[in-house]
Structure 1
Amino acid sequence: MKYQITLPANQPIMTVRDLLEQEWLVPRKVRHFLRVRKHVERNGEPVKFHEEVHPHDQISLTLEESDYSFQEIPLGDPDIDVLFEDEHLLIANKPFGIKTHPNQPGETGTFFNHVQAYLAQKQERGYIVHRLDKETSGVVLFAKNPLVLPILGRLLEQKEIHRTYQAIVKGKLTHDQTIRLAIGRDRHDRRKRVVDPRNGQQAVTHFHVVAATAQQSMITCILETGRTHQIRVHLHAIGHPIIGDPLYGKASDRLYLHAKQIELIHPFTKQHLNIETKNSLFHE
């Protein structure tokens, strides 16, 4: 596997070692292999780890299959709704009602099975970055190589990947709010989460009211934290469960929660990505 990355115009001058270790988070074992195999090139020439890189340099890394582990899964239907793709990232629109990824060996029918089938057509692979609940539709980000995966993980951890959700909830909401309620596991139902001020994890959801009637409200939500079922638990806790929620409200044809938009800085190109789905809960 050979990857070629052109450093952006705002790339700080640093050594190859610092670029691989601090910026790209290449594991120590893989850095060792790259060094002893002389599998790092700068502008087409082998480069040593103490040498510097500069803006617009082209860095080439050659990785072996054995350098990173990969778990094969059954392939699904390759006909997926791709919103953005380059050699490092894939952003696709997950339908509601299917899981993001398998939980058991040999499991089929998840969105990740379909993504892998799509990428297999080009002899490429996908890697899980984050997930949506089975009942939730919308944008999901995948890595297309193991090199970019830890960088995306760091962006998530540092809250530098922003997702905007649409929801339709029961009852009339009159103003924008920020909900700050800790969330923990429900001791009586392993599928559910509950507000748990004593033992729960901090959770913050910001929501904006788009339109409202006496019966229901259309809102957009931005997560400051990313707890399991966070939006669903928070809205249920303030008395406005999401319409169609089979766990925290009343089931209907679907859960009216949709990940509409994702925003991040591309780990390698530093391009600002703001990707959204064409479909909307508010116009279905």
Structure 2
Amino acid sequence: MKFTMTMPDHSIEMSVKELLEQEWLVPRKVRHFIRTRKGILINGEACHFQSLVHPGDIITLTVEASDYPERSIHLGDKNQIKVLYEDEHLIIVNKPYGMKTHPNQPDEQDTLLNHLAAYLAPDFQPHVVHRLDKETSGAILFAKNPFVLPILGRLLEQKSIYRRYQAIVHGSLKKELTINKKIGRDRHDRRKRRVDPKGGKTAITHVAVAKQLANQTAVFCQLDTGRTHQIRVHLASIGHPLVGDPLYSKRPSGRLMLHAYELHLIHPFTSQKIAVKAIPGLW
């Protein structure tokens, strides 16, 4: 695999070693292989790990397939994929309702990851950056190579990837609010999560009212954290469960009314702002 990136104008001067280790999060073993193979060029010229990289420099990095061993993924149906954005490093697709993000068993072939593997074959293999529940639809981000995967993961941890969801809840919600309640596992049902003030992990959801419906409210939800079932647990905890929620609503009917509507990020290599909307949404 060969990658060519131009250092952004706002980047700071740093060594090749710092670039690979601190900025691009290349694993130590792979950095060793790059060094011994002389697998990195600056503006087409061979360099050392102590060579300096400047804004505007063109970096060419070559890694072998054996540096990042690929796992086996059954190929699904490429026609199931609806692309919202794609380049050589990442892809954002619109996940349909009722489809799992990735297999839990080796023989599964009907998840979004299976279908995306078929779409990208034979040149790329998808890597999961984050996931959506099976019942949730909308925008979801994947890496197209293992090189960019940890960089996107760090952006997610640093809350540098903006995600906004559409949701429809039972009842009338009158005002914007922030729900800051820790979430942990439900001891009585392994499928579920619950608000757990003592043993749970920090979870923060911002809720904004979009419009009032008959006995329901359409809202936007923005996440500061990414806990399993976070929006579903938080809204149920304030007495406004999601419409159609089979786990957290006493009146589940129809599909789960939760849709990952918007996803924004700054491209880690080009500094381009990427902003997509998964249309049509819930309203």
- TM-score, structure 2 length as denominator? 0.97
1:225 Cα deviation (Å)?
1.0
In the alignment, what sits opposite 2:92? Answer: 91
1:162 Cα deviation (Å)?
1.4
Return the letter of the residue paired with 1:50.
Answer: Q
Q: Percent same amino acid at aligned positions?
A: 59
In the alignment, structure 1 residue 13 sits paired with structure 2 residue 6: no
1:252 Cα deviation (Å)?
2.1
Alignment gaps of 5+ in structure 2: none
The secondary structure found in structure 2 opposite 1:281 is coil
Deviation per CA, 1:123-175, whole angstroms, max 9, x where unpaired?
21111100000000001100011111111111111111110000001010110
Partners of 1:39 and 1:160 in 2: CA distance: 30
In the alignment, what sits opposite 2:82? Answer: 81
In the alignment, what sits opposite 2:102? Answer: 101
In the alignment, structure 1 residue 199 sits paired with structure 2 residue 167: no
Alignment of 1:245-264 (within 5 A): 245-249=245-249, 250-264=251-265
1:68 Cα deviation (Å)?
1.1
The secondary structure found in structure 1 opposite 2:74 is coil
In the alignment, structure 1 residue 38 sits paired with structure 2 residue 47: no
Return the letter of the residue paired with 2:24.
Answer: W
In the alignment, what sits opposite 2:221? Answer: 221
Partners of 1:125 and 1:4 in 2: CA distance: 19
Q: State which drifts further: 244-253 or 185-194.
A: 244-253
Partners of 1:136 and 1:245 in 2: CA distance: 10
In the alignment, what sits opposite 1:186? Answer: 186
1:214 Cα deviation (Å)?
4.9
1:264 Cα deviation (Å)?
1.2
Partners of 1:6 and 1:30 in 2: CA distance: 21
1:278 Cα deviation (Å)?
1.8
Between Structure 1 and Structure 2, how many residues are aligned? 281
Q: State which drifts further: 135-144 or 248-257.
A: 248-257
Alignment of 1:1-284 (within 5 A): 1-79=1-79, 80-120=81-121, 123-249=123-249, 250-282=251-283
The secondary structure found in structure 2 opposite 1:262 is strand
Partners of 1:262 and 1:150 in 2: CA distance: 18
Deviation per CA, 1:40-65, whole angstroms, max 9, x where unpaired?
01111211111111112111111111
1:37 Cα deviation (Å)?
0.5
1:14 Cα deviation (Å)?
0.9
Q: State which drifts further: 165-174 or 44-53.
A: 44-53
Alignment gaps of 5+ in structure 1: none
- TM-score, structure 1 length as denominator? 0.97
Partners of 1:117 and 1:273 in 2: CA distance: 24
